[in-house]
Homo-oligomer: A and B are copies of this chain.
Amino acid sequence: MNDSLIAGKALILAASAIGAGLAMIGGIGPGIGQGFAAGKGAEAVGRQPEAQGDIIRTMLLGAAVAETTGIYALIIALILLFANPLVGLLK
């Protein structure tokens, strides 16, 4: 492999490391949102302990929906690290 190809691949791989790190910042959202749901869930359970099952089920259902963008970010980061489609485009 010549020097120019090495330099090019290195640049793409370096950028992939930074891209993976940036993607994880997206996890701020689910963290805040699900924590809010946890707080509201705890409050609701305190007020209506008899509805505990329904409250927790709703909280978990809503939290699962809120997780999706965190999962998207994780998948993009894992693709950048373990199945990098970009570095192969440099031929």
CB contact list, A1-30 vs B, under 8 A: 1-30
Question: B residues within 8 A CB of A81?
Answer: 76, 79-80, 85-86
Question: B residues within 8 A CB of A58?
Answer: 38, 41-42, 45, 52, 55-56, 59
Q: How large is the interface on A (under 10, 10 to 19, 20 to 34, 35 or more residues)?
A: 35 or more
Main SS of the interface on chain A? Answer: helix
* Residues of A bordering B, CB below 8 Å: 1-49, 51-52, 54-56, 58-63, 65-70, 72-74, 76-77, 79-82, 84-87, 89-91
Question: B residues within 8 A CB of A79?
Answer: 81
Residue pair B30, A69 in contact (C-beta under 8 Å): yes
